[in-house]
Amino acid sequence: MNDLVSLTRQDEIAVITINNPPVNALSPGVPEGIKASVEAAQQDPAVKGIVLIGGGRTFIAGADIKEFGKITSGKGGRLSLHPVLETMENCPKPLVVAIHGTAFGGGLETAMAGHYRVAVATAQVGQPEVKLGIIPGAGGTQRLPRLAGVATAVQMCAYGDPVPAPKALEYGIVDKIVEGDLLAGAIAFCREIVAKGGPPRKTSELSGKLSDSGVYDFFFEAARSEARKKQRGIPAAQAAIDAIEAATRLPFAEGIKREAELFQQCLFSDQSKAMIHAFFGEREVAKIPGLPKEVQLYPIRRAAVLGAGTMGGGIAMNYVNAGIPVLLKERSQEDLDRGLNTIRKNYANSVKKGRFSQPVMDQRMALITPTLTYDGFDQVDIVAEAVFEGMALKKEVFAELDKVVRPDCILASNTSTLNIDEIASASSRPHMVIGHHFFSPANVMRLLEIVRGKASSNEVIATSMDLARRLKKVGVLVGNCMGFCGNRMFGPYRREAQLLAEEGAAVDAIDAALYEFGMAMGPMATGDLAGLDVGWRIRKEYKHLEIPGANYPDAEDQLCEMGRYGQKTGAGWYRYDENRKRHMDPEVDKVLEEIRKKKGIQKREIGKEEIVDRLIYALVNEGARILEEGIALRAVDIDIIYLAGYGFPAHKGGPMWYADTVGLKKVYDRVVEFHQRLGRFWEPAPLLKKLAESGGKFAEWTRTKGQEA
């Protein structure tokens, strides 16, 4: 029919195949091709039934998300699926949709406009639009409840998680699971339907499941209230529920109109633009400018992890979860046992929660070989080093490794602060050394900052990026500097949080303001969770680098002097009860009062807006330096680091995107104001100034352009 959609015939069954690699998105041309094919098959008297199938690795991954940006920026863009879906549904000949890979978003909507659906067992269906800040816009909120019931439709549209084919069969979304060849199975199924005769089953005309028990006012109220908590700051989740409610109250055609109104509102929202930025951003960070495409990857078949503490244990779990066996080395039997017990406890918890079965846990544990020696290190392809933080120890360990591993073994340090080049200098092969900076808890957090040293080779960088994907992490390549990208920005963020407390903001008010902004957790609660002593130790080690006369906060150092390290000692910024519930603590007020006395600070009322601006713009200002220095490759890399590793809200797109959304002139003016009022920490980053003055955006800035400016 066109290059993207082909129509063939197997006897009396027409086969429509979509060929729009890599994921058969419904890009311009695809819906038109499907429509023309259905019409042609409908008119062909030799055709009795139709099968629609995806060519390549998947059915249809959804509408073409690239079109959305064009639509909202007025640069064209097309998204017109209704005509094709109507043609499919109204086709008088039975139309069977054959699903493999994913039928997501517009893909599932297309499938539901068919009369029947068959799928291979490994297929997945879903309405993930909410993860892009939108709702299904091609009838998903109207057809899905008719097939699967209202409660399932709410779950799928308001949360967006994929549903495996066997579950989809149970829900009534899919009619049959096909064993063996999908096309052959779909054709056979279609023939059965043809043989049965009768009019095709139109999803839009089904109504039995719309009056499921539980569909009362209170059901939707409860669903909205739950989504308000679980999908904080994402109006699309509420809109999806509204649209499904419309399906229960309005005729199909009117429900479709209501869905379209809500879809438009969501599409043009800042949240949606931010979430679409995050979607493409996660894929963009995998592309490293300057890294030759043909670069050879080192095979990673076996790994060793040094240190079975907080991080080493989690890192080992990541490897074995990906099927890579691990030698786990500690310095004493006691440390090794403690580390292994923690891993076992974590896995047992997952089994208890039903995430996987006991045999899976046993398999994973069996992939870990505990050891106190370097025996077997000559067999591993990578060593992940996670011993205590300290340059002397790291160098000692890297020198030891040099003697026991093969020349082609990657040496990856999990250091959070130390200079990768100096660590690499202890080895005779600095080109094999790189930073793999995981985030705590390492088995949960998705971010992996990959820190490139001066000498890290292209092969080691490319292998690390590939490994991140295998470990199901988002790998972001950054340059080497104190704190790398994420923690270097987090320093000023937490500094401002402390200073605000010293100036008079209540500890819980600071947390509440950032939580309301959308952060997973406020800065004080985060500090208490990670341990205030971590920063305290680092500050002591780097005291000599402090800028004389600058206004450093005293609060956390004082809390640590008192043994208040956070949750692990039962008290930090808050006091924690036996259930780990936090409470404000007058002791902390006393500490802050003392600091005010010592520093001559007049306590003042501080509003939410100042709290948020000071913390978020502290991130942005440092981010601008990091970008200009080339520590981050692009602004989007910083955004993804914050989204995947620091609990920054996806609907704000990351700190740099957020600043672009606010407007860099406005951000810059506020930074200048803080600079005048609060001193040298707030000196505006040159890039922020430049872009504010030229009306530019971080997202559009590239290094070459910037250097020319």
Kindly tell me which of 395 and 575 has the beta carbon lying closer to ligand NAI: 395
- The full DSSP string for 95-157 is EEEEE-SEEETHHHHHHHHSSEEEEETT-EEE-GGGGGT----SSHHHHHHHHH-HHHHHHHH
Q: Which of 89, 129, 259, 496 is catalytic?
A: 129
Residue nearest to ligand NAI (CB): 309
Partner from ligand 3HC, ligand NAI, none contacting 312, C-beta within 5 to 8 A by type = ligand NAI
Closest CB to ligand 3HC among 21 and 251? 21
Residue type, 7: L
590 binds, among ligand 3HC, ligand NAI, none (CB under 5 to 8 A by kind): none
What does 105 bind: ligand 3HC, ligand NAI, none (CB cut-off 5 to 8 Å by kind)?
Answer: ligand 3HC
In angstroms, the Cα distances linking 529 to 13, 260, 495, 556, 564 are 61, 43, 16, 13, 12
Contacts of 129 (CB under 8 A, 6+ apart): 62, 105, 135, 136, 137, 140, 157, 160, 236, 240
Q: Which is nearer to ligand NAI, 50 or 497 (CB)?
A: 497
Q: Which does 61 bind (CB under 5 to 8 A by kind): ligand NAI, ligand 3HC, none?
A: ligand 3HC
Structure tokens at 196: 């049965």
Nearer to ligand 3HC (CB atom), residue 474 or residue 611: 474
Residue 476 CB, nearest approach to ligand NAI (Å): 14
Write out the residues near ligand NAI by the rule CB under 6 A.
306-312, 329-331, 335, 386-389, 397, 414-416, 438-440, 530
Q: Identify the CA nearest to 77 among candidates 34, 35, 27, 33.
A: 27
Residue with tokens 């995050």: 278
Residue 114 contacts residue 189 (beta carbons within 8 Å): no
Give the C-alpha separation, 192 to 4, whole Å: 29
Q: Which does 104 bind (CB under 5 to 8 A by kind): ligand 3HC, ligand NAI, none?
A: ligand 3HC
- Taking CB within 5 to 8 Å according to partner kind, which of ligand 3HC, ligand NAI, none is near residue 62? ligand 3HC
Q: Tell me which of ligand 3HC, ligand NAI, none is bound by residue 283, counting a contact when its beta carbon lies within the kind-specific cut-off of 5 to 8 angstroms.
A: ligand 3HC
Instruction: Detail the DSSP E strand segments found in 307-451.
Output: 326-329, 368-371, 382-385, 410-413, 433-438, 447-451
Least distance between ligand NAI and beta carbon 537 (Å)? 10
Find, among 648, 657, 698, the residue nearest to 447 by Cα. 648
| Pick 157 or 324: Cβ nearer ligand 3HC | 157
**CA 614/CA 621 separation, integer angstroms:** 10
CB of 624 to ligand NAI, least distance (A): 24
Report the distance separating Cα 249 and Cα 252, nearest Å: 9
Closest separation in Å from C-beta 683 to ligand 3HC: 37
**Strand 49-54 relative to strand 116-120, pairing:** unpaired
- 254 is a catalytic site residue: no
Type of residue found at 691:
L
Residue number, 22 or 208, with CB nearest to ligand 3HC: 22
Query: How many angstroms separate the CA atoms of 317 and 655, rounded?
Result: 30
Question: Closest approach of Cβ 448 to ligand 3HC, in Å?
Answer: 16
| Shortest reach from residue 468's CB to ligand NAI, in Å | 15
Min dist CB 58 to ligand 3HC, Å, is 6
Between residues 100 and 429, which has the closer beta carbon with respect to ligand 3HC? 100
CB nearer to ligand NAI: give 530 or 640: 530
559 binding partner (options ligand NAI, ligand 3HC, none; Cβ < 5 to 8 Å by kind): none
* Among ligand 3HC, ligand NAI, none, residue 306 binds (CB under 5-8 Å by kind): ligand NAI
Find which of ligand NAI, ligand 3HC, none residue 138 binds, CB within 5 to 8 Å per kind.
ligand 3HC
Output the smallest distance, CB 74 to ligand 3HC, in A.
Answer: 19
Alpha-carbon dihedral of residues 669, 674, 675, 676, nearest 10 degrees?
90
Question: Could you tell me the two tokens for 553?
Answer: 């906060």
Compute the distance between CA of residue 432 and CA of residue 464 in angstroms, rounded to an integer: 11
Phi and psi at 570, nearest 5°, equal: 80, -5
DSSP letter at 298 equals P
Residue 331 or residue 540: which is nearer to ligand NAI going by CB?
A: 331
- The reply to whether omega before 441 is within 30° of 0 (cis) is yes
- What's 454's DSSP letter? S
**Are 514 and 612 in contact, with CB atoms under 8 Å apart?**
yes
Give the shortest CB-313-to-ligand NAI separation in angstroms.
8
Distance spanning both ends of the chain, measured CA to CA: 49
Closest CA to 625 of 708, 545, 542, 681: 681
Between CA 251 and CA 247 the distance in angstroms is 7
Q: Catalytic pick from 67, 89, 109, 556?
A: 109
For residue 385 the two structure tokens come to 């080093």
> What is the Rg, in whole angstroms, of the alpha carbon atoms belonging to the chain?
28
What is the C-alpha to C-alpha distance for residues 109 and 678, in angstroms, rounded to an integer?
Answer: 54
Return the number of the residue (267 or 442) whose C-beta is nearest ligand NAI: 442
Tokens 């989204």, residue located: 643
CA distance 465 to 320: 18
**Binding stretches for ligand 3HC (CB under 6 A):** 22-23, 25, 61-66, 81, 102, 104-106, 109, 128-129, 132, 136-138, 140, 280, 283
The smaller minimum CB distance to ligand NAI, of residues 269 and 526, is found at: 526
Those residues whose C-beta lies under 8 Å from the C-beta of residue 53, and which sit 6 or more positions away, are 15, 16, 17, 18, 59, 97, 98, 182, 183, 186
Under DSSP, the state recorded for 663 is -
Minimal distance in Å, beta carbon 527 to ligand NAI?
12
Q: How many CB atoms lie within 10 A of CB 347?
A: 22
Tokens, residue 506: 């209540």
Q: One-letter amino acid identity for 698?
A: F
65 binding partner (options ligand NAI, ligand 3HC, none; Cβ < 5 to 8 Å by kind): ligand 3HC
**In whole angstroms, how close is the CB of 629 to ligand NAI at the nearest point?**
22
Rounded to whole angstroms, the Cα distance separating 103 from 62 reads 7
449 is catalytic: no
**Nearer to ligand 3HC among residue 25 and residue 148 (C-beta):** 25
| Half-sphere exposure at residue 351, Cβ-oriented, CA atoms within 13 angstroms | 15
Residue 169 binds which entry of ligand 3HC, ligand NAI, none, CB below 5-8 Å type-dependent: none
Q: Give the orientation angle of helix 310-321 with respect to helix 358-366, to 10 degrees.
A: 110
Give the residue numbers annotated as catalytic, written as ranges.
109, 129
